[in-house]
Amino acid sequence: MTAAPTLTPALSEDPTPPPGASRPRASTWAVMRGLLLRDLTVLDKSLGEFLHNTVTQPLLLVFVFTYLFPLIGQGVGGSSEAGASRFASLLMAGLIAQAMAFQGVFRVAVPMAIEIDVTQELEGRVLAPTSVSTMATEKIVFGAILSLFAAMVVFPVAAFLPTTPVYLVVDWPVLLTLTPLACFTSAALGLTLGTVLKPASVPMLSGTLALPLAFGGAIFYTWESLDPVPWLQYLVLVNPIVYMSEGMRAALFTGVPHMSLGAIYGALTGFAVVFTVLGQRGFKRRVLA
Amino acid sequence: MRGIWRLGLVAAVAAGAFALAMVRFSGAAEEGCAQRLPEDPSYRVQWSQQPSTDLTRYRLSITREGRPVTEAEVCLNSYMKGMSAMAVTDRGREVAPGTYEVSVTFEMGGRWPARVLIAERARPVVAVPVLLEVREAPVPTTSPNF
Amino acid sequence: MTDGTSAPTATPSDDAVGSTAVPVESGLAEASESGLPSVILTIGLTKTYRGGLIAVDSLDLTVRQGEIFALLGPNGAGKTTTVGMLTARVVPTGGTALVNGVDVVAHPALAKAAVGVVAQANTLDRSLSVWENLYFHGRYFGFRDRAARAAADELLERFHLSGRAKARIATLSGGMAKRLMLARAFLPRPAVLFLDEPTAGLDPQSRLALWEILGQLHAEGETILLTTHYMEEAERLAQRVAIMDRGRLLALDTPDNLRRSLGAGGVLILKAEGDLDLLAQRLRLMRGVLEATPGPGELRLRLEETDGAIAEVVGVTSREGFPLRNLSLEETTLETVFISLTGKDLRE
């Protein structure tokens, strides 16, 4: 820069009102739309990575467990075709739940932990003329959308990989109510974690939290099959993924046993409420002094 | 929305793939005995004997409102509670009015929740849930018991 | 109440401890005198953190429409906390803050709608380009797609950032990032622009550039409140300056008045031999000498004005038999005002 830059004079037909003149107050919905659009734009920029994350995991697991293993004689679920099919079914439900939970939680928690502590970008976004709780809600909504997408991706993977046949009998009312609930719960959990995590602990998160959640989430087995291990059966009840897996089994299959719908809906709703409250509070605490 | 057209494209493709998957799934719908069907408590199913692992055929007496159900198509599907073992039968054979014989082998003893599917003439197909207690028959050995 | 003239409102003292608070009436009276509405009004604004730390102690401020106002004070004075309370980022523990007529505590979202903030740190959205940072800020403020695009394009042009429209934030220099933050804050034409240490850490050229831009924005009618610990910045930009230290308002007036309150003549530092206390007594009798403070090996004289005073002082000193070794003159600046109020440097 050779000369100090000056502003070019404002256009004479400048339609913008003078400073401070009252402009119509931005509605909460308009602000939320703006925030969502920003998150979608950022997602658009890292689309490759997002697709990789949401597609490869279910792809690999379905491939290994329902194509490769039966082929090489490692079939889970007994040697009968019916048994293998049933395992493939319960696995598919479990993978949908896992996809929903992981994408919802991690895609909200990790960016938030970084934004709050490291880059202070959140400061910039908090300038938006809306309540802090609206901003927290937008994060949950966006996370739920990603979670939903991840769940949706599992279906074509399970349908078109040359695996043991899976017979879907869709209970549409259950599927259409349970899926948004599960996605919302995952995102709310993500918000809660994002407001308490330090960016340094993020790598640790995948180790200490992800594995127990995954293996204690009734993804590879039904909850009922833990009958022989009652202490574990009760322990995993604190894991929201269990209810998501069982819920997907209820929504998609007939021959696969699952927890009662009352328990599933009740637990997921309870988790959703708790995580939303905790997440909102945590967000407020980190944002305001 | 110009900025996120790639995202829109991916979303559209994903939705399409999902729809295709659903079509594929419905095409390969469960046929025969594993179908999801409404239950009808007016039907009653009685087993001639307690299921056991060493038996292969069973007789079921099916009645509805006290009267035997005749000329119906009957089959059974069952899975073992907690395990991945399953048992599905073909159509049962009516051996006497209201009594049907089905061929099924239970691999292990234990609890087997089951559904008996009944297609009575001129009536909707229904399922009757039953809970079977399968007895584990002792395996004959040549060595003395300890 | 004031006597109608622009009486100085600073209360300087000899001892180095912080002085008494400024009476509220003077600040408010000035505002009503000018007839312009007050865009910022704080009454007894207080922030006490858990643990007992009082960051801001019963602050009374008024900022008029179209004014450039500076909060001057060292780090830790409570300036950033004050701005935080006025922009709904910090919740006050006492008092009231009104921005554009809106109670910030009761209606934070409404208050934020009238406010643009340039924070000290870089709060730009790292995941978005330069243009996108502007565009989305417009969207957050309720602009529709086309209006937001137009506003982003326009400001990119005006703030000379067009060449970097698609650039990533990480590639911007400090000065450019600040400029972008200012453009972003200005985009929704807020009632007040808050800037927290706007030129801290910038090279002199970027600093001048930013000052120039602020001047232009002000010329267009924007009300600006900035915090700073650079005296030069306050003197150069601000129409009124509030001097703060340790959470308290020490003085509030135009820079000229503040300087005059100390004596526009500045401080004359004499290095002479002999009993300096005696010399101080002699010199205090002089007309035009406001104060004479002996120190280790030197005598500090506060003069009302410089014309003729220096010569007179020199005359008196030699006549009374105190050989003069050295003489230097410190002009009155806001920094000297601050030092006289608190006994510390602005930079401490």
Q: What is the pLDDT of residues C50-76, one digit of tens each?
A: 888 999 999 999 999 999 999 999 988
Task: State pLDDT tens for residues C179-212.
Answer: 999 999 999 999 999 999 999 999 999 999 999 9
Chain B residue set in contact with A, beta carbons under 8 Å: 3-7, 10-11, 14-15, 17-18, 20-22, 24-26, 28-30, 34-36, 77, 79, 81-88, 113
Does the distance separating the beta carbons of A83 and B86 come in below 8 Å? Answer: yes
Does the distance separating the beta carbons of A131 and C108 come in below 8 Å? Answer: yes
Q: Please give the residue range of the domain that contains residue A171.
A: 29-287
Does the distance separating the beta carbons of A159 and B79 come in below 8 Å? Answer: no
Residues 6+ apart with CB under 8 A from C27: C9, C60, C61, C62, C252
- At residue A115, the pLDDT reads 81
In our burial notation (b when 16+ CB lie closer than 10 A, e otherwise), range C19-34 reads beebebebbbebbeee
* One-letter amino acid of A65: F
Report chain C residues whose CB lies below 8 A from the CB of A130: 109, 112, 140
* C40 and C99 Cβ atoms separated by less than 8 Å: yes
In CATH, which of 3.30.565.10, 2.40.110.10, 3.30.428.10, 2.60.40.1940 is domain B33-134? 2.60.40.1940
Task: State pLDDT tens for residues C239-284.
Answer: 999 999 999 999 999 998 888 777 667 788 888 888 888 888 888 8
How many CA atoms within 13 Å lie on the side-chain side of C83? 28
**pLDDT-derived band of residue C23, with 50, 70 and 90 as boundaries?**
very low
Asked whether the predicted pLDDT for residue B84 surpasses 70, the reply is no
What is the mean pLDDT of the segment spanning C334-348? 78
Nearest to C304 by CA among C285, C284, C290, C286: C290
| Secondary structure element (H or E) that encloses residue C79, with its range | helix C79-86
Q: Is C141 on the interface with A (CB under 8 A)?
A: yes
The total number of structural domains that make up chain A:
1
- The angle at the Cα of B111, spanning B107 to B116, to the nearest 5 degrees, equals 85
Among C89, C141, C209, select the one facing A288 at the smallest CB separation.
Answer: C89
Asked whether the predicted pLDDT for residue C288 surpasses 60, the reply is yes
In our burial notation (b when 16+ CB lie closer than 10 A, e otherwise), range C132-145 reads bbbbbbbbbbbbee
Nearest to C158 by CA among A15, A5, A14, A16: A5
Asked whether the predicted pLDDT for residue C6 surpasses 50, the reply is no
Does the distance separating the beta carbons of A76 and B24 come in below 8 Å? Answer: no
Q: Is A37 on the interface with B (CB under 8 A)?
A: yes
- At residue A81, the pLDDT reads 63
Distance CA A61, CA A84 (A): 15
Does the distance separating the beta carbons of A257 and B6 come in below 8 Å? Answer: no
Asked whether the predicted pLDDT for residue B6 surpasses 70, the reply is yes
- At residue C311, the pLDDT reads 85
How much is the ipTM here? 0.84
Residue boundaries of the structural domains of chain B: 1-30, 33-134
Q: Report residues of chain A scoring pLDDT below 70.
A: 1-24, 74-83, 119, 162-163, 255, 289
Report chain B residues whose CB lies below 8 A from the CB of A222: 82
Please indicate whether residue B40 or residue C86 has the higher confidence score (pLDDT): C86
Please indicate whether residue A185 or residue C312 has the higher confidence score (pLDDT): A185
Among B6, B36, B87, select the one facing A47 at the smallest CB separation.
Answer: B6
Please indicate whether residue B79 or residue C62 has the higher confidence score (pLDDT): C62
Which of the residues A155, A157, A170 would you substitute to probe the B interface, choosing the one with the greatest number of B C-beta atoms within 10 Å? Answer: A155
- At residue A192, the pLDDT reads 94
Ordered DSSP codes for B5-71:
HHHHHHHHHHHHHHHHHHHHHHHT---GGG----B-TTEEEEESS--BTT--EEEEEEEETTEE--S
- At residue B30, the pLDDT reads 52
Q: Give the phi and the psi of residue C242 in degrees, each rounded to 5.
A: -110, 125
- At residue B131, the pLDDT reads 84
Q: Is C184 on the interface with A (CB under 8 A)?
A: yes
User: Domain for residue A19, yes or no?
Assistant: no
Per-residue DSSP letter, A193: H
- At residue B23, the pLDDT reads 85
- At residue C310, the pLDDT reads 83
- At residue A268, the pLDDT reads 96
Distance CA A64, CA B8 (A): 31
Domain C264-331: which topology? Alpha-Beta Plaits (3.30.70)
User: Domain for residue A12, yes or no?
Assistant: no
Report chain A residues whose CB lies below 8 A from the CB of C110: 25, 129
Mean pLDDT, chain C, integer = 85
Does the distance separating the beta carbons of C157 and A16 come in below 8 Å? Answer: no
**pLDDT-derived band of residue B35, with 50, 70 and 90 as boundaries?**
low
- At residue A116, the pLDDT reads 79
Does the distance separating the beta carbons of B21 and A156 come in below 8 Å? Answer: yes
Residues 6+ apart with CB under 8 A from C56: C45, C46, C47, C78, C81, C82, C85, C92, C247
Nearest to C338 by CA among C256, C275, C257, C250: C250
Among A44, A165, A170, select the one facing B28 at the smallest CB separation.
Answer: A165
Does the distance separating the beta carbons of B4 and A40 come in below 8 Å? Answer: yes
Q: Is C209 on the interface with A (CB under 8 A)?
A: yes
User: Quick one: how far is CA C215 from the chain centroid?
Assistant: 15
- At residue C12, the pLDDT reads 41
User: Domain for residue A24, yes or no?
Assistant: no
Report chain A residues whose CB lies below 8 A from the CB of B79: 86, 255, 257
Asked whether the predicted pLDDT for residue B34 surpasses 70, the reply is no
Q: What is the pTM of this model?
A: 0.77
Q: How, if at all, do strands B99-103 and B73-79 pair?
A: unpaired
Asked whether the predicted pLDDT for residue B46 surpasses 80, the reply is yes
Asked whether the predicted pLDDT for residue C117 surpasses 50, the reply is yes
